[in-house]
Structure 1
Amino acid sequence: ALDVPHHYTEEEMREIDRYYEQEYIRGAEPRYWESVEIGEVSIPLVRGPYTTTAYICYAEATGPRNDFHRAHSDAYRYRSEHPRAFPLNEYGFPDTIARVHWDKEMATRAGLPETYDFGGERVAWMSNVVTNWMGDDAFLRRLRVEMRAFCYVGDTVWLTAKVVDKSTDGKDFAVDLELEAVNQRDEQIARGTATVLLPTETDPDAPTVPSTIPEGLSPFI
């Protein structure tokens, strides 16, 4: 059977805490394009053990962006128009289908062993590992993330970015990264790619932030 939620030993928790203690945010120290080597890997970023509290914090931080996160009269109006979005719970009254993320009964009804994260949070984690590595003077030009498996309550995730290419067109100095998120069961639960524009030793004021969104990409907001 799948080890969900995982029961942690004291040593496992100490190891996770060590990763939190070594979390590195480059910040104001520039990472110059010339200093980057293909094959280098970022310091792993840890997230977890995942909790329902973490889900709540993410939902609060992102604001009222999910149609299924509604309460009271607002929920009534929405479920009047979309009744199937609010199935009855085990007590006989309707609640949002999004409760699959925090209500184990609903998760079980969906065929899952446990509640799980919101996919957008993992995208945010992937952006964290990139921006922590690149520093404040760089620009995250592209980010693409694929969800490969669930992140259940109790799971711990380690995220890394690996340099796979460097290029320049004479104006922009780019680095391509491969991203990976692996849990305590050694399962890859997300993967992705990113392109970062870095400053250079000869032009520390670069890169300039694009004034338009590249064709085919959408803004985050």
Structure 2
Amino acid sequence: MDLIATFYDSASEDEYQCDDESKSACCGVKDEGIIWIRRFPHVVGHWPSHIYISLVENESKQSQKKEFNVLADEIIDGVRLIPDVTQVHLVALKTNAEENPYHLSLSRPFVLTYGMIEKFVQELRLCLKWRRRFLYTLQGLSIFINEDATRSFLAINMINDTTPFLHILRCVNSCMTRFQLPAYYENPRPHVSVASSPHGTLGSIVTQSQLDRLPSAAVEWHGIATHVAVAIGNKRFDIILK
């Protein structure tokens, strides 16, 4: 089967809470009858964190955000018409996100304690001090799974020169290593997820050739990366690129 399955997860896509602090990281959380798996247990003093590049989010780009929402909906609607996709529950990421859900991930989900936050953000700012903003182009569709095989993600690929992205990623990895936190996945493929499923099986149902035939797979999206965002619990820190 022509399938692309790459490990992936995202803090913004993993915000479902477990009330019982003694539950494991794999506790199930029901949402309209669907069981979503929480990546980390809820532990007082532990802050779930994620580093990423946002697409469009400020007020001056609301029209651009609406355009991307339309593209995401077209992609999801097209995939839902593929035979057997009705076997899985496919949810648009914007459905469960108060803020703009679309981003290029720069880290795995990780946890910081309160005392680490200030030092971590300061170190990350230093690591990214000379990194520059860059243009990116998104086109073509892929299916990714997280490393626990508990979720599938439908995503648009970044197709232009990834060198600026990888330079930033290396800086992020350097910071993560200094704090003994997990580096990003090997052989990264930059992408923006538009939908998720509480199963790791979407890729076994939908082939790459089926995705390639969807009209929305040919649409190009152009943008500019201007800053790196660090989400730590309910806090967010922005690091402006030069």
TM bracket, shorter-chain basis: under 0.3
Structure with larger Rg:
1
- Structure number with higher strand proportion: 2
